[in-house]
Amino acid sequence: MKDINLPTFLSDHQFVSKNQFNAIKSDLIATIDSTESLNDQSNGVMFYLTHLDRYEEENNLIDLIYKYVSITGYEMPDKGIHMHRDLSIQHLRLLENVGEDSINNAFTSRQIEPLDETSYYLRVLAPLMLCEEIKDWEVYKWVALEIVNFSLENGINEITPYGCLGLARYMMTKYEDMHLANDYAKYALTEIEKSNNKLLINAFYSDYAFIILPWLKEISECTQLIEDKYQLIRESEDAYLKGKNIKRYYQMMLFSGMNKEEALAVSQGRLSVESFDQKPEISAILEMYQLSKMTQRVNLEKVIMLIDKSPELYEGNLLHPSLLVMKAVHINNQKINDEGGLRKVFDRFKYWAGYSPNLFDVLKHFVEAEWRLQRNEIEKSKSLYKQALDLSSSNKSDLNCLIALRRLAVFSDLHIDKNDLKVFYNEALSIYQEFGDQKAIESFLKRFPSI
């Protein structure tokens, strides 16, 4: 075993590469376990758990948090009924701590208090807040609330921004008050800026731009924020963080209507040429989401499987509304009798549109059209497709094409008046031609050779 001097090592290394982490992992764990200083030990655990989540896809992060937090002398409630009960207490603490104040006032009125022997455990909790995939939202919420409540009761500290960002993320993902969530997130950004740690600041802004902001602002604002904050790490050797930024930028380019080749070229051109890892399931869905593929009337079974089996891959990011739209289309394509399921999807978009009408009104009308179609309300459905198309027509995006395509496909199957069908066909073809994706146009003409 190679002895590691934790204070020196952590002072010299903000991060290590995957190969470096694998090389030192066992020595790092042994050093952490044998370190007597609780300050050094908690810093070492925070470094270890942060890198474990980065580089090991199948990790036992939450179990390790339970293990190491107990070493600091703090005991978390057991998962399950004890955690559930303690969450109620955490909520009451938060209500009492914030009171009638705004979030910003509640925090800025507190003193700054460095961590000590009674609070080093917060460092052990912090890495969970920046996890890319959350598999236990109850534990995640508890950790966020514990950090936030401790800070409000005892003073602002280096871990406070982690809790605020984590709580904002939970609130966004679980359909709580989006504007309140944004207030927590903005305070987290204000505090993390004070660290002067460029890598950490970028990590926070990347999460904010990809997880929080897309529910409130146009995608263009989110990508611009990633682009602006990428300057903090452009000269860094942190390939993981660079790749994460580029992957998120690339995915948002896809959601904004670009094809894969164009999205990758734009992402690497505006940020930098770095490789990034993307889960096969995500790649398959994004491939399916391409306009040329959707025009072919692809089988959407993979969408249903992902929604049912792997919520951690899409909850809290823009893949979620995209998957729900495809689920609604799949239900009607397969003639599945599931009016209740479609109503739930519609209600979800009504909720999102309530906070961000500019972003979600189009999809709200589209999904309602699918629900009305299931109820055999044909004229109402036709009217809603038109409303969706009219709202989306102000932007040159693949969404215009998909709405026009869906309306044409639905009413072709229903054998409506041929004059109406001809109008739908001509309008859809015109929108495709204006968008300019030649592969998609070819798919369209092949699917509808004559009407």
DSSP 3-state of 241? helix
- What's residue 256's pLDDT? 78
DSSP assignment letter at 371: H
> How far is the C-alpha of 182 from the C-alpha of 406, rounded, in Å?
34
Give the pLDDT mean for 243-248: 95
- Residue 3, domain member (yes or no): no
Backbone angles phi, psi at 369, to 5 degrees: -60, -40
- What's residue 249's pLDDT? 95
* Contact in structure between 306 and 313 (CB atoms under 8 Å): yes
Give the pTM: 0.91
Answer yes or no: do 72 and 189 share one domain: yes
pLDDT band at residue 396, thresholds of 50, 70 and 90?
A: low
220 pLDDT more than 70: yes
CA distances for 310 relative to 173, 252, 334, 348, angstroms? 15, 20, 22, 19
303 pLDDT more than 80: no
176 pLDDT more than 70: yes
Answer yes or no: do 212 and 239 share one domain: no
User: Would you tell me the crossing angle of helices 160-173 and 137-154 to the nearest 10 degrees?
Assistant: 140
- What's residue 305's pLDDT? 79
- Which secondary-structure segment (H or E) carries 45? helix 38-55
Query: Quick count: other Cβ atoms within 10 Å of Cβ 135?
Result: 12
Answer yes or no: do 417 and 429 share one domain: yes
Amino acid at position 343, single letter: R
- What's residue 21's pLDDT? 94
Answer yes or no: do 63 and 163 share one domain: yes
Give the pLDDT mean for 57-84: 92
- Residue 232, domain member (yes or no): yes
- Residue 400, domain member (yes or no): yes
> How far is the C-alpha of 342 from the C-alpha of 370, rounded, in Å?
7
Q: Which of 278, 296, 316 is the last residue of a domain?
A: 278
> How far is the C-alpha of 149 from the C-alpha of 163, rounded, in Å?
9
Domain that holds residue 298: 281-447
DSSP assignment letter at 174: T
356 pLDDT more than 90: no
Answer yes or no: do 245 and 319 share one domain: no
- Residue 9, domain member (yes or no): no
Sequence-ordered strand ranges (E) for 57-120:
none
The mean-pLDDT minimum among 31-40, 227-236, 288-297 falls in 288-297
pLDDT band at residue 393, thresholds of 50, 70 and 90?
A: low
171 pLDDT more than 90: yes
- Residue 187, domain member (yes or no): yes
1 pLDDT more than 70: no
Q: Which of 163, 187, 216 is the last residue of a domain?
A: 216
Instruction: Please give the mean pLDDT across all residues of the chain.
Output: 91
395 pLDDT more than 70: no
Q: Which of 162, 191, 216 is the last residue of a domain?
A: 216
DSSP assignment letter at 430: H
Answer yes or no: do 411 and 424 share one domain: yes
Amino acid at position 275, single letter: S
The dihedral formed by the CA atoms of 51, 53, 54 and 57, expressed in degrees to the nearest 10: 140
270 pLDDT more than 90: yes
In Å, how far from its chain's centre is CA 368?
Answer: 24
- Residue 22, domain member (yes or no): yes
Answer yes or no: do 270 and 292 share one domain: no
- Residue 75, domain member (yes or no): yes
pLDDT band at residue 301, thresholds of 50, 70 and 90?
A: confident
Answer yes or no: do 331 and 410 share one domain: yes
* Contact in structure between 288 and 302 (CB atoms under 8 Å): yes
Q: For residues 18 and 3, which has the higher predicted lDDT (pLDDT)?
A: 18
> How far is the C-alpha of 127 from the C-alpha of 118, rounded, in Å?
19
Answer yes or no: do 115 and 158 share one domain: yes
> How far is the C-alpha of 358 from the C-alpha of 361, rounded, in Å?
6
pLDDT band at residue 385, thresholds of 50, 70 and 90?
A: very high
Domain count within the chain = 3
> How far is the C-alpha of 44 from the C-alpha of 123, rounded, in Å?
9
Within a 13 Å sphere around the CA of 111, how many CA atoms are in the beta-carbon half? 5
Q: What's the sign of the alpha-carbon dihedral 188, 189, 190, 192?
A: positive
Token couple for 83: 């955690």
372 pLDDT more than 80: yes
Token couple for 192: 């993390």
Answer yes or no: do 267 and 293 share one domain: no
DSSP 3-state of 448? coil
- Residue 12, domain member (yes or no): no
DSSP 3-state of 163? helix
Token couple for 146: 């514990």
DSSP 3-state of 152? helix
In Å, how far from its chain's centre is CA 329?
Answer: 23
Query: Quick count: other Cβ atoms within 10 Å of Cβ 357?
Result: 12
Answer yes or no: do 312 and 396 share one domain: yes
Token couple for 53: 């989540």
Where does residue 143 rank: exposed (0-12), middle (13-18), buried (19+ CB within 10 A)?
A: buried
pLDDT band at residue 418, thresholds of 50, 70 and 90?
A: confident
CA distances for 171 relative to 59, 268, 344, 380, angstroms? 25, 32, 19, 34
What CATH number is associated with residue 390?
A: 1.25.40
Q: Is 83 left (phi over 0), alpha (psi -120 to 50) or beta?
A: alpha
Answer yes or no: do 167 and 248 share one domain: no
- Which secondary-structure segment (H or E) carries 365? helix 357-374
- What's residue 447's pLDDT? 92
The mean-pLDDT minimum among 7-16, 41-50, 134-143, 218-227 falls in 7-16
